[in-house]
Structures are given as C-alpha cells and as structure tokens.
Amino acid sequence: MSTADLLPLAIAIPLIGAAFSALVGSRLPRVATDLLVTVWAAAGVADLVVLWLRTGDGRAVSWLGGWRLRHGESVGIVLVNDRIGIGLALLTAVLVLAVIAYSWRYFDEPPAEHAGTFPALILLFDAGMCGFALTGDLFNAFVFFELMGAVAYALTGFRIEDPRPLQGALTFGVINSLAAYGSLLGIGLLYARTGELGFAQISQKLTGHRADALLLTAFVLVLTGPLVKGAVAPFHFWLPDAHAVAPTPVCMLLSGVMVELGVYGAARIYWIVFSGPHGIPQHVFHDTFVAAGVLTALVGAVMCWKQRNLKRMLAFSTVSHVGMFLVGLALLTPEATAGTALYVAGHAGAKAALFGVTGALLDRFGSVDEHSLYGRGRELPVGGVLFVLGGLALAGLPPFGTALGKAVAEHAAQSHSPWLLAVFVLASAATGAAVLRAALRVFAGAGRRPLDRHEVPETTGGGEEPEIRGPSRRVPLPMLAVPALLLAGSLAVGLLPAVSTQLAQAARLFTDRVGYVAAVYGHSHAAGMPPAADWTAEGIALGLTSVALAVAFACAALWAAPRGGGAHRVVAPLRRLHSGHMGDYVGWLIVGVAVLLVAVRAQL
Amino acid sequence: MTLLFFLAAGWIFLAGVYGMVTSRNIIRTVGCLAVAQSSTYVLLLAVGFRRGGTSPYFTDTSTRTPVVDPVVQALALTDVVVGATVTALLLALALQLRKRHGTVDPDALTGLRG
C-alpha cells in the first residue's frame, strides 16, 4: 500500500468502525462490542503511525478518486499534510483509543435499544477530527468541521436526564454552526475570486489579485469557524458550558484535541491561503492574533482560578492554554510553531488525565464540586497523586512535554516581544495553581473548609448524576490506569528527543507556503533548516518559575487570610458575562467578527 | 448586480443572527440558525450564476452550451445536507429539553453561569 493511500484510510477506518459499531452493537454482548471498537481505534492509530513514519521529513499528498490537477486547474479534493497535521491526527487517534479504554466500564447501563451508540459516536468524532487535520481543501475542511461539530453536540448532550447537558449542547451547537456558516460564506467569496477550493490552488490564484475588501471579508469570515472552535476570546463562551456538562470521556477529547484543531485550522489556512504575495501581510496576522491570544490566555486564567466546578475549571484552563497556542502560532516563526506543537501534545496528555481523574471522582462521589468534595478524596490516593502531577504538568514542570513546548515557544517570543514571557508564565501558573488548590482541598483536606458565598452567580458542580452506577463502589481500574498512561505520554513528549526534532522539522514545513503549494502541484522544493527545539537552562528555569508561582498561589488560596477588595470588582463583571444565555453568546460572536474586520482593515 | 447578491446574502445572515440574539424560544433560535444558513445558498448559487446559462446537464444539448457552474451547486447540495443534520439534531435536543424539563426558554436555563 502506498503512502498516499494511508491518508484517506485514516478517515475511512473510524467511519466504517462507527457504522459497524452502531449496526452490531445492539446484537452483541457489551464485552464483544468494547473489544471490537478498541480494535478499530487501534487500527486507526496503526495507520497513522505508519503514515507518520513514511511521510518522514516531507509531505504526503493524495488526490481522492484520482481527480488530479489538469493544466493547473482542479475539481478534485486533495488530502495533503506534513507531520504537524499527521501528528494532530495521530494525537486524536491515540486519545480516542485512550477514551475507549477509559469507558470500558463507563455507562454500565447503556440504553438497552441503543447499545453501541456511544462508541459509534466516538469513532465518528475521530473520523471528523482526522479529516479536518489532514485535508488540503477548504470546502472539505468545512464538511469535516461540521461532522466533528455535529457529533460533538450529540455527545455533549448524551445524558438527557439533566437539563444542563442539553443546554450546553444546544449552546455549543448553535454557536459553532453559526460560525461554520460564516466560514462557508467566506469560502464562497474565495471561490468567487479564484474558482478554486484547495488551499494551495486558491493561494496560487490569489497572487494575481490585489488585497481588497473582498479578500479582507473572506479572510475574517473563513477564520471565524476555526477561531470559534478554538475558543479564542470573545468566541470562547460556549466552551466552558459544553465541557462542564459533557460526559467525562467526551471532555477528554474536546479539551485534549478538538479545541486545538480549531487553532491549527486558523494557522494552516492563514499560512497557505492568505500569507502569499498580495494576501494579508504577516505583520497584520501577527499583531492581531498575538493580541487575541493574550486576551484569551488571561481571561481563561482568571476564570479558571475562580471556578469551583472541577470540570469547568479544567475547561477554562483549556481556554487559557489555547490562548497561548494561538500566540505561539501567530508569532509566525518555525521555532514558535515547533514549540506550540510540542505544547499541544504535552497539554493533551495532561488535560485528558485530569479530566479522567475528575471522572473517577464523579463516579465515586456524584459531585465535581471542589467545596463539597473537601477532604473526601482521601479514599483515592492514586487519584490524588495523578491530579497533582497533572496540575504540575499544566503549570509547566520540566520534564513534561508542556514545559518543553512552552520553553521553546517562550524562547521564540523573547526575541520579538519579551513581555509575552510574563503572559506565558502567569497564565500557566494560574491554571496550574487552580488545579493544585483543588487537588489539595479534595484529596488532602488542606486549608480551611471553604465557605459557600453567593455574591456572584456560579456553577457549583454538586448534585450531578454519577455517570456510572454499580453495586461495587470501587473505581474501575481503567479509570485510573488510563490517566496514568496519558500523563506518562505527556512526560514522553518532553523526554524523547526524537519527538522534538521531528516536530521541529515539521514546523519548518508548516511555515513554508511555497513548499506546500509545490507539493500539491507536484514540483520539488527544498526546505530550509529546521529550528532548534530542545531543553535549555533558561527554559527549565522559566518552567520552574511558573511551577513555584503556581504552588505559591495555591498555598495562598488555602492558608492566607481571605481579602476582599479590588480584584473582586474586576472579576465579578467578567464572570457575569459568562451568562449561559445563547443569545448573548451569538451577540459576542458578531462583536468578535466586527472587531476583527475593523482591526485587520485598520492595519492594511 | 453581483454586488446585490452579496448584499442580499449578508442581509439574510444578519437577519438570522438578529433573530437568534433576541429569541425567547430555542425552537425559534434553531429556526433562525437555518435562516442564517440559507444566506450561504444565495451566495453560492449567485457565485456560480452565468447570464444565459442553463443547468449543467449535457445529455441532450451540445457540450458548447453555456451552463452555470456545477461546482457551487454540488457545494450548495452538501451544505443543505449538513444544515439538515445540524438542525435536526438541535431540534431533537430542544425536544428533549421540553419533554423532560418543561421549558424551551433560554432565559429559564440558569444551570450554567459564572
């Protein structure tokens, strides 16, 4: 089998698995369905591993159905990618495998007539995300975007016994689909201008036109979808609402990789489609999206710190980290891109592990509320250790992958705007501190017993339906083994030099528009030197600084005397903005698009 | 003339958005989402329009006949399928909300805030 065939196979394997699981799931015993689905997911991982190895330091190109370019024009769909996109697809497949193993004992009583639906939806989600990561065609990307979206809405609202999942799923669906239709309007405008839909083909045709109002509108509209999926402020409001209520295994996928795919999509589309001559100049993208990323990182960090619902806290920490990823990609250098890729891989392991342990708490105690769980986690010492390690990984403790990625991105940011270092250190310290504070309260009963105050509206996280009900109240083995393996994965990203060198090579391909276009058009093109992406003394020092800050914040929250005052007056209005009302969130979406249009226009 | 189509598409999109922002009923919100989506049909079909062109079938006509762009029609068709799926799913969620919790008013859903 040729390398090109492996690309469509990465999408086809989970698709077929999903159909199969939905068909036979109700006829087979639970164990057989679980085994079958695990085999499908493992096959998807195997396909992508071979693809990763065979692609090497280059790009894999596959024209679907053999509809190739003729005289520089095309009507076919092309899948094309380097190791950044393939790596994201691989990360998706690995997380899906982990989630399927995690949920072996999940939903012990599935609806009798719909057994097999949950794994089928997970595999369908896998197919959508892999497709989005691998495609080189704008309309195809829209279809995969909507596929992963629709499946994610269904998975979020899976537990219909509680109104909150339904509300979260509806908000998620309405906001994301509206943004996707905005993207489609942009795609229509680009097609009107160029008559092409492939990233590379549009890019080639655009070089013959000047940047005008149509290109500007198309740029902002096309990026709206990925930015909403990537939860970039002010498009992030749907994310905490969806993540706080989705079943835990789904949260692992949403936070671990789906949101990151949004930021990836935005950067990929900018690099290939718009960064050419007569496109949107690099300084415009850089300034606009570094600003957006910093705003996202800070809003996420502050909101994360203020949460008591553990899932919502982790969701806001994802918002904060996505902000840092956006800053990394918007720096538009191969080094920063390599750092971000490492950061995403390390973060996925840590965040999925944290959600996994939270799921074990939910199973055991029927609550994800930091206050009412105070001290009760002492029965789960293993869970406590994993939760603390996850928090330290989020804060950037070397040698976790998060620390390496952050250090490389920080090094790249330093030469350009040194103040970005402070943002990186503070945001990662605050999100890590929130997790550590919760871990110490829940698993060790540290500090004073928290008091309930109701000055601001908040989501508590008490009174949740346990997602598993069984007479034996022991936590199933996979629910702690899978988080441990995921943390080990995050550690491996930081420790294996092969991962960082290969991602550094891929990052220089990711930032090479000419090379991408040449690969699609079948020309050869020599790439430059890969950037360095390795541990430095300075990076380790910065990582340790943010960990020390995180520990200090957490201890201060637990033991220092409570102070009212200025901070509260700033934070309370910000919390009130997160109203849970979908009409408000649609309003914010439009405000965000308008601000982007004005900001980009002003810089042209 | 072409500009008019673009403006019409933008107008329909914003009309849908206005409905979504002001909606007091989730069914209406989902309906308005479908309105916003229909702007994409208008835009896509307008992009592929050719004056004097017929539908892109060549069974009983010469291959030299001017036709409208078939690619955007394929896109619009895919778009319809995607839109129908999303609308059906969201309506099903709204239905469950009404059945089990007795409300479709977004203002009555206060479980997630802060």
* Partner B contacted by A374 (CB < 8 A): no
Higher pLDDT, A268 or A565: A268
How does DSSP assign A333-384, residue by residue? -HHHHHHHHHHHHHHHHHHHHHHHHHHHHHHHHS--BTTTTTTGGGG-HHHH
Residues of A (28-87) whose Cβ lies below 8 Å from B:
75
pLDDT at A461 over 70: no
pLDDT at A69 over 70: yes
* Partner B contacted by A131 (CB < 8 A): no
How high is the pLDDT of residue A471? 43
Mean local confidence (pLDDT), A565-569: 72
pLDDT at A16 over 50: yes
Beta pairing partners, A214: none
Contacts of A300 (CB under 8 A, 6+ apart): A233, A236, A316, A317, A318, A319, A320, A321, A322, A323, A427, A431
- Residue type at position A369: D
> How far is A229 from A149, CA to CA, in rounded Å?
9
Mean local confidence (pLDDT), A439-452: 86
Residue of B nearest to A175 (CA): B33
* Partner B contacted by A577 (CB < 8 A): no
How high is the pLDDT of residue A199? 95
DSSP structure class, residue B54: B
Give A84's pLDDT tier (boundaries 50, 70, 90).
very high
- Choose among A184, A458, A582: nearest Cβ to B114: A458
CA distances from A480 to A102, A248, A475, A485, A487 (A): 8, 13, 8, 9, 11
- Which of B85, B112, B113 is the mutation pick for testing A, counting most A CBs within 10 A? B112
Give A392's pLDDT tier (boundaries 50, 70, 90).
very high
How does DSSP assign A130-186, residue by residue? HHHHHB-BHHHHHHHHHHHHHHHHHHHT--TTSHHHHHHHHHHHHHHHHHHHHHHHH
Q: What are the φ/ψ torsions at residue A62 (nearest 5 degrees)?
A: -140, 120
A109-126 pLDDT, tens digit per residue, is 555 556 778 889 999 999
Mean local confidence (pLDDT), A118-146: 95
- Choose among A170, A191, A580: nearest Cβ to B26: A170
Q: What angle do CA B83, B89, B91 make, to 5 degrees?
A: 100
Q: How far apart are the CA of A580 and the nearest CA of chain B, in angstroms? A: 5
Give B100's pLDDT tier (boundaries 50, 70, 90).
confident
Selection from A186, A144, A419 nearest residue A280 by Cα: A186
Q: How many CB pairs under 8 A join A and B?
A: 144
How high is the pLDDT of residue B82? 93
Tell me the pairing of strands A78-81 and A60-63: antiparallel
The two structure tokens encoding residue A458: 């908040």
Higher pLDDT, A465 or A290: A290
Give A456's pLDDT tier (boundaries 50, 70, 90).
low
Q: Do B97 and A245 touch (CB under 8 A)?
A: no
Mean local confidence (pLDDT), A238-253: 93
B36-87 pLDDT, tens digit per residue, is 999 999 999 999 888 888 888 888 878 888 888 999 999 999 999 999 999 9
- Choose among A75, A185, A575: nearest Cβ to B39: A185
- Choose among B20, B43, B112: nearest Cβ to A459: B112
Residue of A nearest to B95 (CA): A166
Q: Do A160 and B100 touch (CB under 8 A)?
A: yes
Chain B residue numbers touching A163 (CB-CB < 8 A): 97, 100-101, 103, 109, 111
Selection from A500, A493, A543, A251 nearest residue A392 by Cα: A543
The two structure tokens encoding residue A38: 């695990």
* Partner B contacted by A225 (CB < 8 A): no
- Which of A114, A170, A369 is the mutation pick for testing B, counting most B CBs within 10 A? A170
> How far is A397 from A172, CA to CA, in rounded Å?
33
Q: What are the φ/ψ torsions at residue A474 (nearest 5 degrees)?
A: -85, 145
Mean local confidence (pLDDT), A355-365: 91
Looking at chain A, the number of H-run helices and the number of E-run strands are 23, 2
- Choose among B17, B89, B103: nearest Cβ to A154: B89
Contact A447, A559 (CB under 8 A): yes
Percent of chain A with pLDDT over 90: 73
CA distances from B6 to A214, A310, A402 (A): 10, 46, 45
Q: Quick count: other Cβ atoms within 10 Å of Cβ A110?
A: 17
Structure pTM? 0.95
Q: Do A146 and B86 touch (CB under 8 A)?
A: yes
How high is the pLDDT of residue A453? 61
Q: Do B93 and A143 touch (CB under 8 A)?
A: no
Enumerate the domain spans of chain B: 2-108
CATH number at B2-108: 1.10.287.3510
* Partner B contacted by A555 (CB < 8 A): no
Q: Do A579 and B113 touch (CB under 8 A)?
A: yes
